Amino acid sequence: MFNPSPYHEPGFGAWKQRLETLPLSKILIREADQAAQDGRWMRWMQADCESTYIQSVEDNVAKIGQQLVLLAEIANYPVGVCCVLAGRTNSDPLFIQLVAVVPFARRRGVGLALLRAVAGWQPHRSIAMATLDDNVAARRLNERFAQSIGGNIQRVPVSRFRRSDLGFAPGERHRPWVIDRQQEADTAVLR
Ligand SMILES: CC(C)(COP(=O)(O)OP(=O)(O)OC[C@H]1O[C@@H](n2cnc3c(N)ncnc32)[C@H](O)[C@@H]1OP(=O)(O)O)[C@@H](O)C(=O)NCCC(=O)NCCS
């Protein structure tokens, strides 16, 4: 049977201990490999971060095959993850379904580095994400991100996108936002 608790898995404790002594070295962003090791890193980060669901290694590996999954590393240790779904048509946005950074690596720019890497992936698309109203860290991060790419972040009605595209389930009270880049792209073409 699937064990929902990763806390006693071999290696989890050592990874947590290593995080506590992380050097202040450069943040590396890379695409996750569709392999068990990266599925396991994702699972452990999900376990270490609030506001995230802990998934099985297999489900994480399947996600890596279906979406863009970026991992942030410091000194070869994964400390952050971002899951992104590209909308079905070219004019649909990129949906940032999850951005999470382990507590020991926060406020070092990891979250912002992950989002900026997403922005560079498909620059013609606008970017959508959803937050809970009381998630101050996520809301401030999104504002900083929008500012850093010269975009304007705005609330949009909940009905604008499918909940599943935004990565939340029915009953969750996340509210969507959009950083509109489509308009900028259209203007650039007209110039
Ligand atoms: C939200 C989260 C991803 C931020 O990650 P992070 O790596 O700490 O963010 P950064 O260091 O890149 O912060 C960039 C900016 O965001 C803002 N910010 C980040 N965390 C903040 C906090 N706790 N309070 C206020 N502002 C915050 C700041 O403006 C910050 O810039 P500054 O440090 O120069 O002031 C992290 O807190 C987290 O994983 N939270 C749990 C999971 C979650 O809620 N994810 C979002 C919903 S999917």
Exposed / middle / buried, residue 134 (Cβ in 10 Å: 0-12, 13-18, 19+) = exposed
Residues 96 and 127: beta-carbon distance below 8 Å? yes
Q: How confident is the model at residue 1 (pLDDT cuts 50, 70, 90)?
A: very low
Any ligand 1 atom below 6 A from CB of 133: no
Q: Looking at the predicted structure, is the pLDDT value of residue 183 above 70?
A: no
Q: Is the pLDDT reported for residue 35 higher than 50?
A: yes
Q: To the nearest whole percent, how much of the chain has pLDDT over 90?
A: 79
Distance CA 182, CA 123 (A): 9
Domain architecture of the chain: domains with CATH: 25-190 (3.40.630.30)
Mean pLDDT over 34-59 rounds to 95
pTM for the whole structure: 0.93
Cβ of 99 below 6 Å from ligand 1: yes
The DSSP 8-state label assigned to residue 30 in this structure reads E
| Predicted confidence band of residue 168 (pLDDT cuts 50, 70, 90) | confident
CA of 137 to the centre of ligand 1 (A): 4
How large is the angle between the packed helices 36-48 and 57-66, nearest 10 degrees? 110
What percent of the chain has a predicted confidence (pLDDT) above 70? 93
Q: Residue 127 and residue 182: Cα distance in Å, rounded?
A: 9
Mean pLDDT of 29-37: 98
Over range 140-156, report the average pLDDT: 96
Lowest mean pLDDT among 36-40, 80-84, 113-117, 186-190: 186-190
Atom of ligand 1 at shortest distance to CA of 114? 12
Q: How far is the centre of ligand 1, averaged over its atoms, from the C-alpha of 187 (Å)?
A: 32
Q: What is the rounded distance in angstroms from the CA atom of residue 2 to the CA atom of residue 170? A: 24
Mean pLDDT of the chain: 92
Alpha-carbon span 166 to 161, nearest angstrom = 7
Give pLDDT, residue 62: 98
Closest residue to atom 4 of ligand 1, CA basis: 111
Atom of ligand 1 lying closest to residue 105 CA: 7
Residue 3: φ, ψ to 5°: -90, 115
Determine the average pLDDT of the residues in 35-61. 95
What tens digit of pLDDT does each residue of 51-94 get?
Answer: 899 999 999 999 999 999 999 999 989 999 999 999 999 899 99
What size, in residues, is the chain?
A: 191
